[in-house]
Structure 1
């Protein structure tokens, strides 16, 4: 492995556990098959969806992406109002799991920036290729300027680009530094940065009374383009829930092991928080812009050192 590539102290053994309720084998198998069926439907339907107009295409992608997360047995909560978003927006998020991709797409569908190894993943790899993913050759630093130019051209063309600037996955109890390269593309294209924070939590006790948006809000926005949904769910305050390690896809974890961990862990909630936008033109350089976005995305636990959260 190239020593200059981003690394994380997270490992499947230390970070990917689940202490909450679990599902039986039969129920987990059903969810696994349902989730894979949704992904397969996306692979088969993608060429036809690309023929649709931009508005209908985006609605279908949002519905499909939301369906993928739900099919694997995970509830979705959106905090904040996504809005329509300006053309050429760069969406940046922290990176915890393969689930991050459909979760973000359920709110902000766009062209994903991903490592080239994803091309070889079963089902997901084919879907990434058909969906116009921008692949990064992480081992070839000489290819980086070309990648930055491609991202900038995509943003200038009015497409939304989704990136995970940490460059690798973390378990959710801490985070890595945002790499500046993708932010250079945003500066070159004079794009707007849309930071979002991803959190996976265990299900809160049913007796709590704090209100929060849930999955139906995503589906309503997907179908209606941003309208308020009547769907609400009682949810525990954040301090009464724990990060859901079962969702973490870290280290050398095999994909199939991660899939099985997700479907056997009952009561998982995927939370995506929409944060205030940052105009790239307001920052003097890419490193400053990267730090601003990283600070916006970081939560209290991510502000601690990696050693303190992985001890």
Structure 2
């Protein structure tokens, strides 16, 4: 019994040390990002901004102790809709570390402390689900990104989960890809700790951001598998509902290891 208590105490001490150590550097990195947004972004071209966002996202993940492991072949050139399951606030930066992406997210995220500023800086397209024309307005912004050959990211579950399964997809915003004739690439995200599924890392339910940061920054061996599945050509589907169903089936099978 005493041995088990001592082991638990050591684990807690290590977690506390990692949390405090990483928090210092993550806080400094966030302040640097905000300074870049205010002072440097106005001087950069659009391409320059996207390179900065990609590099900053990779740096943030390293400081958080998160390793990104890509599987499959991500579409890195030309317009594409990346569709992914949603587990954590980290998801945006994980995908941005592979290719700088404009994400569609609910407007509530903009009000999150600090994280809201960062995801806005990363080029997020916010959608107010309470607005009658929200989907139409978001679709217009998405098509503008497609016209410039950009990647657009979408979390069609509409909320986060613990990563063990995938909720049904909302099909509305798939219409923008169908109308623009843009291929859709499903992306499955799997959060692991020491090679095993880690639902405790999910930012889900009533959990606070501080509590989630404790689990993330205090953990060792955290990795995120980004499984890039074969793109779905628009010509292969008849409507947005079919596109949403095909993407959902592909991501769910990958998340569940089927």
For residue 37 of structure 1, the aligned residue among 28, 33, 45 is: 28
* Match of residue 12 from structure 1: none
Query: Equivalences for 1:194-273 in 2 at 5 Å?
Result: 194-203=185-194, 241-273=195-227
Q: Normalising by structure 2, what TM-score?
A: 0.86
User: In the alignment, what sits opposite 1:104?
Assistant: 95
TM-score by length of 1: 0.72
The verdict on how the C-alpha distance between 1:146 and 1:102 changes in structure 2, with shifts beyond 3 A counting, is: same
CA contact (8 A) 1:153 1:189 kept: no
Change (3 A) 1:51 1:298: farther
Give the alignment of 1:42-121 within 5 angstroms: 42-47=33-38, 48-49=40-41, 51-86=43-78, 88-121=79-112
1:10 corresponds in structure 2 to: none
Greater percentage in helix:
2
Aligned pairs for 1:5-44 within 5 A: 23-44=14-35
Q: Distance in 2 between matches of 1:127 and 1:34?
A: 16
Q: 1:274 to 1:94 in 2, by over 3 A?
A: same
List alignment gaps of at least 5 residues for structure 2.
1-10
What secondary structure, in the 3-state scheme, does the structure 2 residue paired with 1:161 have? strand
Q: Greater RCO between the two (CA within 8 Å, min separation 6)?
A: 1
SS in 1 for 2:44: coil
* Contact 1:40–1:123 (8 Å) recurs in 2: no
Cα distance change on mapping 1:57 and 1:149 into 2, 3 Å: closer
Gaps of 5+ in 1: 1-20, 204-240, 305-311
